[in-house]
Structure 1
Amino acid sequence: MNPDLDLTLERVIRAPRAAVWSAWTDPARLCKWWIPAPMTCRVDRLEVRPGGGFVTEMSQDGVAFVPHLNAIFLVVDELERIVFTNAIDSAWRPAKPTPVPMTAEITLGDHPDGTDYRIIVRHGDPADRARHADLGFAEGWGLVTKQLASVAESVAR
């Protein structure tokens, strides 16, 4: 972790890793938490494998959708780690994503209360990191992680 380039988030999710993994890899579950409520999400592509596409759209009214994320998965270690980047789009073309290019690494570990959930979002330069932080990284990623926890915990019951 490089504090000049990276943003992090950690949380214990009170559900087994399999439930958290399923919330990440099942489009029907991912759309329930991936975008901060009250906005809604539509999953266009979720090919959870190295090189697979990760494409989502968002909507304020549930009717008109606009692009949200067009990325690829770089690393997928089942039940342990997912790494994706928006610096390359789902067609394997270099991208200029908004608001910032990033590579996100999500790791899942065992915890006595469920799953140790950790995120590192890497940026190419301090300006992109600062922009992402200023745009509300902690609040936005924190909210979707809370929503993820709710989905995973409801599956685990």
Structure 2
Amino acid sequence: MEQIASALGDGARWRIVELLAERPRSVGELAELTGLRQPQTTKHLQTLARAGLVTVFPLGQRRVYAVEAAPLHDLEHRVRGLIELIEAHADERDVVARYRAAIETESALADQDRWADGRTFTFERVLGTPPEVLWRYWVDPDLLATWWAPPSMTVTDCVLEPTPGGRAVLEFRDAERRYRSEGRVNAAQEPEHLEFDLSVLDPAGAVAFTGRYDLTLTSVPEGTRLHLDLSITETTVEAVPAIAGIETGWGQVLDNLADAVGTEKETS
């Protein structure tokens, strides 16, 4: 397939294939129609032949080239599959576009430290599982690691110790670097309430900003209503990318949580 794509990647060869799609032609006719010299045309035809795109056969004293449709059907199938994959994951590109727009917006505001102090965010979901089960997904490190990172990130360390003064840690990585946050649990009432602070650290280990989280799990007929309030403080100018990603990032990790809880429900 790579050989076919490479052969068709040249404009002159693509034109030759177009001409042969109409009917078989000789080297001389192709050279005249493309404006190429005959030796150049012959080399292009040889490349197309090696890729299986054209065949040559004698016609009296002439050698005539004809296009082969089968490799093009294979290419069409691969391209169609690629298009379907792109369309199926269009939301991922939308996430990147929204994140880029958010960075541009926040960059215009971040003219000094503390620029975003006091900003608040609220997230709410109804999940089809009891509060006791959902609580475990927040305080059990193994379960927490299954969802507490955006797509394409891998959790390397995470803990929310459900007791006042307990540790709060989140570290995840991608192919380029690690991202670490540290803090403390302020209040915990199993299985319905958890408050904690989490400071996002820059690569040097300094605080970029601190998030104060207030999580409430309420039993409802459908399962559990999850309500999460987040306020930020200690914001630095360098925190722009992280703050720009809060809305999208938490939306993604709560989707992960819903998937993780749903998987447990299916297998239990």
The answer to whether the Cα contact below 8 Å between 1:83 and 1:106 also exists between their aligned partners in 2 is yes
- After TM superposition, which residue ranges in structure 1, 4 or more long, deviate above 3 angstroms? 124-128, 131-134
The number of residues matched between the two structures is 145
Aligned to 2:221: 112
Q: Give the Cα separation in 1 of the matches to 2:124 and 2:244.
A: 19
Residue identity (%) = 27
The answer to whether residue 177 in structure 2 is matched with residue 68 in structure 1 is no
Name stretches of at least 5 consecutive residues in structure 2 with no aligned partner: 1-117
SS in 2 for 1:49: coil
Residue 253 (structure 2) aligned to one of 128, 144, 148? 144
1:142 partner amino acid: G
**Does residue 129 of structure 2 align to residue 28 of structure 1?**
no
Residues 17 and 40 of structure 1, relative CA distance in 2, 3 Å threshold: same
Are the counterparts in 1 of residues 185 and 195 from structure 2 also a CA contact under 8 Å?
Answer: yes
Match of 1:56 among 170, 180, 188: 170
Instruction: For 1:35 and 1:105, locate their aligned partners in 2 and report how far apart those are by CA, in whole Å.
Output: 18
Q: CA RMSD in A?
A: 3.0
Tell me the distance in 2 between the aligned counterparts of 1:153 and 1:16: 12
**For the residues of structure 1 that align with 2:132 and 2:241, how far apart are their CA atoms?**
30
Pick aligned residue for 1:85 from 190, 197, 204: 197
1:32 is displaced (CA, Å) by 1.0
For the structure 1 residues 39 and 81, does the alpha-carbon distance in structure 2 shift closer, same or farther, using more than 3 Å as the test? same
Letter in 1 for 2:189: D
- Distance, in Å, in 2 between the alignment partners of 1:9 and 1:144 is 11
Which of residues 152, 163, 166 is equivalent to 1:38? 152
Equivalences for 1:94-133 in 2 at 5 Å? 97-98=207-208, 100-124=209-233
Q: Which runs of 5+ in 1 are unaligned?
A: 90-94
Q: Which has the higher helix share?
A: 2
The answer as to whether partners of 2:139 and 2:160 remain within 8 angstroms in 1 is yes
Name 1:92's counterpart in structure 2: none
Task: Within 5 Å, give how 1:4-15 maps onto structure 2.
Answer: 5-15=119-129
Output the amino acid matched with 2:146. Answer: K
The answer to whether the 8 A contact 1:40-1:58 is kept is yes
Between structures 1 and 2, the one with greater strand share: 1
Task: Specify whether residues 71 and 115 from structure 1 end up closer, same or farther in structure 2 by C-alpha distance, changes over 3 A only.
Answer: same
Q: CA deviation at 1:101?
A: 1.5
Larger radius of gyration: 2
Query: In structure 2, what residue type is equivalent to 1:116?
Result: R
Query: Residues 120 and 152 (structure 1 numbering): CA distance in 2 closer, same or farther, change over 3 Å?
Result: same
For the residues of structure 2 that align with 1:155 and 1:39, how far apart are their CA atoms? 21
